[in-house]
Structure 1
Amino acid sequence: MSRNRKSAKTEGTRFETVVRDYLAQALDDDRIMRPRLHGATDIGDIANTYFMGQRVCIECKNTKAKAYRAHMLEAIDEAGNLDAPFYFVVQKVPGIGFRSMRKIGSQMAYTTPEVLDAMRREAPDDLFLHNTGNFTPFTTKGKAPMELVRCDLRSLAVVLNHGLPLGREMES
């Protein structure tokens, strides 16, 4: 493995680990983990996350390329492997590190509008009324544009936590 490829893999693993740690602390759930790889049947980079009792597939990306469509298609495929109705990509934002919980919470999370609508149907109205103001639509560029909706990781954690305050010391 070339040095650059090894470095990229190491940085990807590091990003997955900090996202896992962030969600485990935010949701106060030590069961959240990074599953081992399953090849063609991967189930996402973060396991044991749920919304309203249903699985959520989370795919992490620490890439310079803004391949939002390709990353979302990967998350959709892995959500199918996991039998998860909800899926998100957590993308490392250039220029924002991950040495503090605040910075990790500032990383970008995105999904399709259909997933966000399905989550709205599953949840009490006030959960989305009060906690989805940070979700904004955007469209990927290229030959086959894709409509997506994004927020920061902290906003996603609040929704996954049913609007309750985030766990151990997250607000400081």
Structure 2
Amino acid sequence: MSRNRKSAKTAGTRFETAVRDYLAWALQDERIMRPRLHGSKDMGDIANVCFMGQKVCIECKNTAAKAYKQHLREAMVEAGNLDAPFYFVVQKVPGIGIRSIDSIGQQLAYTTPEVISLMRREAPQDDLLNEPYSFTPLASTGFVSCSLKSLALILNHGITLGTEQES
């Protein structure tokens, strides 16, 4: 493995770990983990995330290129392998670190409008999904995005995240 490829793999692993740690903290669920690789049958980078009792596939990307369509296509395939109706890509935002709860919460999460519609049908009472500011259009891709913190709030049905509950 070349030095550049090795450092990119290390950066990706670090990002996946930060996202896993953030979601485990935010949702107060120690079962959230990074699963083993399954070759062509990968099932996302973060496992054991659910919404309304159904699986959510989370694919993490720490890349300079904004290959939104390619990354979301990968998430969609892996969601199929996982039998998950919901899927998101969490993309590292350049210039924003991943060492604090606040900075990791600022990372970009995106999916298709169809996934959001399905989530709305599953949880029609969830005001967070019905707010127009929850998701915004992502450039000219046709996809929608929010921060990782907003996604965590939606997955947690608006309940305060992590140990903030104890404050």
TM-score range, shorter chain: over 0.9
What secondary structure sits across from 1:125 in the alignment? coil
Counterpart residue number, 1:152: 147
Structure 2 contact 120–130 (Cα < 8 Å) conserved: no
What secondary structure sits across from 1:47 in the alignment? coil
Counterpart residue number, 1:143: none
Structure 1 contact 45–60 (Cα < 8 Å) conserved: yes
What secondary structure sits across from 1:149 in the alignment? strand
Q: Which runs of 5+ in 1 are unaligned?
A: 141-145
Task: Note closer, same or farther for the CA distance 1:41–1:100 as it changes in structure 2 (3 Å cut).
Answer: same
Alpha-carbon distance between aligned partners in 1 of 2:96 and 2:83, rounded to the nearest angstrom: 32
Task: Note closer, same or farther for the CA distance 1:4–1:171 as it changes in structure 2 (3 Å cut).
Answer: farther
Letter in 2 for 1:163: G
Moved more, 158-167 or 85-94: 158-167
The alignment status of 1:29 with 2:24, answered yes or no, reads no
Q: Which residue of 152, 164, 167 maps to 1:169?
A: 164
Task: Note closer, same or farther for the CA distance 1:25–1:10 as it changes in structure 2 (3 Å cut).
Answer: same
Task: Note closer, same or farther for the CA distance 1:168–1:85 as it changes in structure 2 (3 Å cut).
Answer: same
Letter in 1 for 2:46: I
What secondary structure sits across from 2:118 in the alignment? helix
Alpha-carbon distance between aligned partners in 1 of 2:3 and 2:156, rounded to the nearest angstrom: 39
What secondary structure sits across from 1:63 in the alignment? coil
Residue 131 of structure 1, CA deviation: 5.8
Aligned length: 167
The alignment status of 1:6 with 2:9, answered yes or no, reads no
Residue 171 of structure 1, CA deviation: 9.7
Question: What do the CA deviations read for 1:70-121 (whole angstroms, capped 9, x no partner)?
Answer: 0000000000000000000000000001111000000000000000010011
Residue 36 of structure 1, CA deviation: 0.5
Q: Which runs of 5+ in 2 are unaligned?
A: none
Identity %: 70
Structure 1 contact 112–149 (Cα < 8 Å) conserved: yes
Letter in 2 for 1:13: T
Letter in 1 for 2:155: L
1:75-86 equivalent positions in 2, closer than 5 A: 75-86=75-86
What secondary structure sits across from 2:48 in the alignment? strand
Counterpart residue number, 2:72: 72
Measured on the aligned residues, the alpha-carbon RMSD in Å equals: 1.8
Task: Note closer, same or farther for the CA distance 1:16–1:162 as it changes in structure 2 (3 Å cut).
Answer: same
Alpha-carbon distance between aligned partners in 1 of 2:111 and 2:33, rounded to the nearest angstrom: 20
**TM-score, normalised on structure 2?**
0.94
Alpha-carbon distance between aligned partners in 2 of 1:13 and 1:22, rounded to the nearest angstrom: 14
Alpha-carbon distance between aligned partners in 1 of 2:3 and 2:129, rounded to the nearest angstrom: 47
1:3-152 equivalent positions in 2, closer than 5 A: 3-128=3-128, 133-140=133-140, 146-152=141-147
